[in-house]
Amino acid sequence: MKIEKNVDGSSTSFALEGRLDTMTAPLLESEIQGKLDGVTDLEFDFAKLSYISSAGLRVLLSAQKIMNKQGKMTIKNVCDEIKEIFEVTGFSDILTVV
């Protein structure tokens, strides 16, 4: 998986490419954990993400819990397969998908 991070003041965005699964979720987690202080707008771009597993969902949930306290988190450009995973797991009720 490829992770492209962009920081602009209090906004941080991540563009993900490939698969967010058991093998790659720790990479994203290490980019997020402890590094969201002062961030009020967190965005994930899934335009090139083809798959997400439960490990990836766990990382998103962790980020969402942090952002609930200090700002907002959005996910954009989600493919139909990942949208379906969000719906089946109930994550579509927790996450803001635009």
For the chain, give the mean pLDDT: 96
User: Residue 34's pLDDT is what?
Assistant: 87
- Over residues 11-49, the pLDDT tens digits come to 999 999 999 999 999 999 999 988 999 999 999 999 999
Domains identified in the chain, total number: 1
Domain membership of residue 46 as a residue range: 2-97
Question: Can you read off the two tokens belonging to residue 82?
Answer: 């990942």
The 3-state DSSP class for residue 17 equals: strand
What's the CATH code of the domain at 38? 3.30.750.24
pTM for this model (two decimals): 0.95
- Pairing state of beta strands 72-76 and 96-97? parallel
Sheet holding 41-52, edge to edge: 2-8, 11-20, 41-52, 72-76, 96-97
User: Residue 63's pLDDT is what?
Assistant: 97
- Pairing state of beta strands 41-52 and 72-76? parallel
| Residue range 46-60: mean pLDDT, rounded | 97
User: Residue 73's pLDDT is what?
Assistant: 98
